[in-house]
Structure 1
Amino acid sequence: MSEHGPVSDQESIYDDTDEGKGVVRIAVVAALGGFLFGYDSAVINGAVSAVEDEFNAASAALGFAVASALLGAAAGAMIAGRIADRLGRLAVMKIAAVLFLLSAIVTGLAPNLSILVLGRIIGGVGVGMASVIAPAYIAEIAPARIRGRLASLQQLAIVTGIFISLLIDFLLARAAGGSGETLGAGLEAWRWMFLAMAVPAVIYGALAFSIPESPRFLIAAHRIADAKVILSKLLGPTRIDAKIEKIRLSMERETKPSWADLRTPAGKVATIVWVGLALSVFQQFVGINVIFYYSNILWEAVGFDEEQAFTITVISATINVLTTLIAIATVDKFGRKPLLIIGSIGMTVTLATMAYIFGTANVVDGSPVLEGAEGPIALVAANLFVVAFGMSWGPVVWVLLGEMFPNRMRAAALGLAAAAQWVANWLITVSFPSLRDISLSLAYGLYAAFALLSLLFVLKFIEETKGKQLEDMRG
């Protein structure tokens, strides 16, 4: 028996049946959107220096080019919920796959910085849509007792996509003798970094045709017979009619889904929506994506050469993958809130350490130079920061966003929260080059302050959702 009541018959069969294995396969396919999300987000890292040289970009223009995908992601997240409620969850996945493919081609063959930015925005829309639909879909098809583990597959896919993109960047740059050097077909290595995304985009789109529609969407669309068939395959035939009726009652409405669902009867935005927005903003304001978007030029700025910087970045991405596995193994055992608390403490300490190291380092030509033990300490702190984030705020925020909202508002609220996350990501990403020019210590000091505030926020506002049925969530 769980702390929230007895586990249903449908849930108890999960681990031992072919139907249960089917749930895992379906969740893995849905999470592939996260792989493209991670790949598209991080691929720019290895190309930043070459793009800067190729198009003679100033710091502000470079920052915008890197962050432009995030503007598209905010837009994609905003529209994903409405498309998912009108056309279905699978339609969003297929549209996202097409956008990823277009982005790979446009960015890889861009003749100037403006076209590169356009390609990044197209890919960003796909990223935003994938960031909404994967956690929503997985939450809607997963039994409550292992929902956290399956929802964490989204973050595992994201960090795997980040790792693969950075590894491909490293291998292509090494093969060409530099990211700006010609590698094949008359194209520079950095262009192949973008073009390589076409392969997983096609795979994701094809696999989206192999999984069933969300039964909760089907029930909302009054396609009860179709929903019954899918739920029977996913959870077994026991008490399916009762389960469908409970879902139907939680989603019953006289109007079509809209932004009005985010409000209370009194007309105010529901508290749970504000909590979701704050979770999304804090996840980005700790500066995690500075590590994955700018780590190469960051480490080069403090004295490492390009190959060393690539190696450090790949190591950080590997650590990110491994620590996400920790979250998958523990999120349904220890709960969401304890992991967030531990992560906030770890991030605060490690970011403050980096701020101190950069703040006390000798400055040469306007940049800090790490000497003696300063370099290893900064590297250890940066990677421990990745550990703290990877086992907590990285996956757990996506788990919570997929499950914390009531059925009637899930897609819309998740879309709004994801859009806020991308706007926050954009603010951090576009501001870093300028902050770097002022002081790396200032940048990491700000991120440390937000990590501390995230701890206070979790302690006061986050409620545990472990083991709760989606139909029991209240706005």
Structure 2
Amino acid sequence: MATHAHGNLAQPDSGAPSHQGKVLAVAISAALGGLLFGFDTAVINGAVNSIQSTFNLGAATLGFTVAITLLGCAVGAWFAGQLADVWGRKVVMVVAAVLFVVSSLGAGLAFAEWQLMAWRVVGGLAIGIASVIAPAYIGEIAPAHKRGGLSSLQQLAITVGIFLALLSDAALAGTAGGADATLWFGLPAWRWMLMVGIVPAAVYGILSLEIPESPQFLIRKGRNEEALKVIRETTGSPDPERRRAEIEESLEHERRATYRDLRGHALGLHPIVWIGIGMAAFQQLVGINAIFYYSTTLWQSVGFSQSDSFVTSVITSVINVLLTFVAIFFVDSVGRKKLLLVGSVGMFAGLVAAAISFSQATGSGGSISLPAPWGAVALVGANVFVIFFAATWGPVMWVVLGEVFPNKMRGLALGLAAAFNWIFNFLVTLLFPVLSQAVGLGFVYAGFAFFAALSFWFVAALLPEVSRLELEDKDKLTHTGLAQRRAGRAGRARPAI
């Protein structure tokens, strides 16, 4: 089988423009779930103040209303892998699209706070499903030498979705003359902000019906001829029959996966599952969503004017979009591990600069300010952090989760890791304002810097490099590499005892 892997690398797909166009179109269609992921998590920003005044909410209730979506995301991610293994990847995409549509409509028309919360949980289920199914599907449909770049489209779509949400909120509020002002059909603009997500959700659902099913799922269900057709017509494999045989061999003795298959000797889970969970956790523990969810408030709190804070937040979101292209262009040629390690170093440097700057803040409560030149240093540090995150950990984490797990456990393990990503997202979102007030922004950003440094060790010591390998060849490499590393560590440890 090793020779097969090298043979595939020597002949990276047929190179036919039609095949390249097909696999790109299919990957973009699947990645639209990421756009909805970004759009739905960010779109409430423009409506927050109006929601608070409309439903007469306290600060704690309002914060929970914003964050409750993330709990729905964790639940959706947890079950997405199981549903994808039973129903198929594309069917689950359609289900996510339907949930996006009904949650957008329900939230926009909610007449009570509890109802708004309920619809935001439904939207969270859809986001969680999309966060799992897109990288899983793209990882299985993409040829090995393009898999990293195509999988990175998921994160690009997320960043574009965040930007479009901000743009949509601003446009609707501007058209109406304010978020609370009446826009169409007697409804205020803030309700339309929540309902406009119906449009991209409908497009996502329609495209999901048109794309082919994953070859791995088709073969798992005994639909081998359909799988061969997808391999031949979409991926453009130079030897479709051999490619199908490799997938069949990897699934030959497989029954439907259960959570029992994720078990191992390392604290109850297989080591590769812990690696995936660790990757998902570190992506949030470095504090990226403290920047995006609280950026405008953050910059105002340290002396920026309201207009300057808004411009700074928009600039940060644009940087996030543009730098994602770095990962798309280099993730396959440079490799996942190198990009992640560079990202950890860059994020650490930016976060240290921000931590030192915020430690110089004077005042308290809403009257905090940064003396010169620390305001500028904090701004540069925060954006250096965003630059390195957007070019590395943002997209590459999803690439790794889409390919690092063996075929048998991919759906379940990816769902579990993504659920942890959303849980840590929720915790960072909920605790950031509390900790900032309790210990100060300097200590909070120092904590983020600590996790950035820890992420470097984690990747260097534990993450296997699987770039440019087909998923089936990678399965063997992953198991062998982990076993060799454990044996090596044990061998080095014995003489020292």
TM-score range, shorter chain: over 0.9
Match in the other structure for 1:337? 337
Shift of 1:366: 5.0
Deviations 1:94-129 (A, max 9, x none): 010011111211222222332222121111100000
2:299/2:309 contact within 8 Å kept:
yes
Contact 1:3–1:467 (Cα < 8 Å) also in 2: no
Q: Which amino acid aligns with 2:168?
A: I
Secondary structure of the residue aligned to 2:257 is: coil
Map of 2:418 onto structure 1: 418
Query: Cα distance 1:441–1:100, how it changes in 2: closer, same or farther (>3 A)?
Result: same
Aligned to 1:207: 207
Cα pair 1:180 1:188 within 8 Å, conserved:
yes
Equivalent position of 1:450 in the other structure: 451
Question: Would the aligned equivalents of 1:296 and 1:306 in 2 still touch at CA under 8 Å?
Answer: yes
Whether the 8 Å CA contact 1:135–1:151 is kept in 2: the answer is: yes
Partner of 1:470: 471
1:92 Cα offset (Å)? 0.8
Paired residue secondary structure (2:468) = coil
Instruction: State the shift of 1:93 in Å.
Output: 0.3
Q: How does 1:175-194 map to 2 (within 5 A)?
A: 175-194=175-194
**1:63–1:432 contact (8 Å) kept in structure 2:** no
Which residue of 2 is the match for residue 104 of structure 1? Answer: 104
The aligned counterpart of 1:299 is 299
Amino acid at match of 1:51: I
**Is 1:100–1:123's contact at 8 Å kept on the other side of the alignment?**
yes
Distance 2:177 2:374 in 1: 29
Summarize the alignment of residues 349-368 of structure 1 with structure 2, pairs less than 5 Å apart.
349-368=349-368
Report the Cα offset of residue 375 of structure 1: 2.9
Structure 1 counterpart of 2:42, one-letter code: A
Name the counterpart of 1:408. Answer: 408
Alignment check: 8 A CA contact 2:5 2:469 kept: yes
Give the aligned partner of residue 346 of structure 1.
346
Alpha-carbon distance in structure 2 between the residues aligned to 1:20 and 1:334: 21
Unaligned runs of 5+ in 2: 480-497
Other structure's SS at 1:110 match? coil
- The aligned runs of 1:232-381 (5 Å cut-off) are 232-236=232-236, 238-253=238-253, 255-264=255-264, 268-381=268-381
Tell me: CA distance 1:178–1:444, structure 2 relative to 1, closer, same or farther (3 Å): farther
Structure-1 residue corresponding to 2:462: 461
Distance 1:91 1:256, change over 3 A: same
Give matches, 1:30-69, under 5 Å: 30-69=30-69
Q: Larger deviation: 319-328 or 180-189? A: 180-189
Q: Once the 2 structures are TM-superposed, how far is the Cα of residue 184 of structure 1 from its aligned partner? A: 4.0
Is the CA contact (8 Å cut-off) linking 1:52 and 1:62 kept in structure 2? yes
Tell me which residue corresponds to 1:440: 441
- Of 443-452 and 275-284, deviating more is 443-452
Moved more, 291-300 or 192-201: 291-300
AA aligned opposite 2:118? L
State the partner residue of 2:6. 5
Compared with structure 1, are the counterparts of its residues 312 and 110 closer, same or farther at alpha carbon in structure 2 (3 Å cutoff)?
A: farther
- CA–CA separation in structure 2 for the residues paired with 1:436 and 1:121: 27
Kept in 2, the 8 Å contact 1:82–1:412? The answer is: yes
Q: CA deviation at 1:292?
A: 1.8
- Residues 60, 433 of structure 1: 8 Å contact kept: no
Q: How far 1:180 moved relative to its partner?
A: 4.1
CA separation in 2, counterparts of 1:7 and 1:97?
35
Measured after TM superposition, the shift of residue 399 of structure 1 is: 0.4
* Distance across 1 between alignment mates of 2:272 and 2:266: 15
Quote the Cα distance in structure 2 between the aligned partners of 1:383 and 1:179. Answer: 29
Higher mean C-alpha displacement, 270-279 vs 44-53: 44-53
Residue deviations 1:106-157 (CA, integer Å, cap 9, x gap): 2222223322221211111000000110000001011101110000011111
Offset at residue 329 of structure 1 (A): 0.7
Cα gap change, 1:292 to 1:178, in 2 (>3 Å): farther
Between the aligned partners of 1:198 and 1:128, the Cα distance in structure 2 is 17
Secondary structure at 2:280 match in 1: helix
Is the alpha carbon distance of 1:420 and 1:445 closer, same or farther for their aligned partners in structure 2, counting shifts above 3 Å?
same
Distance 1:449 1:3, change over 3 A: farther
1:379 is displaced (CA, Å) by 2.1
- Cα distance change, pair 320–452 in 1 and its aligned pair in 2 (3 A): same
Q: 1:254 to 1:142 in 2, by over 3 A?
A: closer
| Counterpart position of 1:217 | 217
Q: Which amino acid aligns with 2:355?
A: A
Where 2:12 maps in the other structure, the secondary structure is helix
TM-score normalized with structure 2 length: 0.90
Q: Which moved more, 1:197-206 or 1:251-260?
A: 251-260
Secondary structure in structure 2 of the residue aligned to 1:391 = helix
Gaps of 5+ in 1: none
TM-superposed deviation, 1:460: 1.1
Change (3 A) 1:291 1:373: same
Opposite residue 77 of structure 1, the aligned amino acid is A
| 1:246, distance to aligned residue in structure 2 (A) | 1.0
Cα separation, 2, equivalents of 1:168 and 1:436: 30
Q: Is the 8 A contact 1:108 1:192 kept in 2?
A: yes
Q: Provide the residue aligned with 1:387 in structure 2.
A: 387
Please list the CA deviations of residues 281-323 of structure 1 after superposition, one character each: whole Å capped at 9, or x if unmatched: 0001111112222222222333344443332222111100100
Q: What is the identity, as a one-letter code, of the residue corresponding to 2:443? A: L
Equivalent AA in structure 2 for residue 257 of structure 1:
A
Give the SS at the match of 1:31: helix
1:21 aligned onto 2:21: yes
Residue 443 of structure 1: how far off its partner (Å): 2.4
- After TM superposition, where is structure 1 displaced by more than 6 Å over at least 4 residues in a row? none
Q: Is the 8 A contact 1:296 1:313 kept in 2?
A: yes
Aligned length: 474
Give the 3 Å change call, closer, same or farther, for CA 237–160 of structure 1 in structure 2. Answer: closer
What's the CA shift string for 1:328-382, capped at 9, x where partnerless?
1110111001111111111112122222222211215454223443333222222
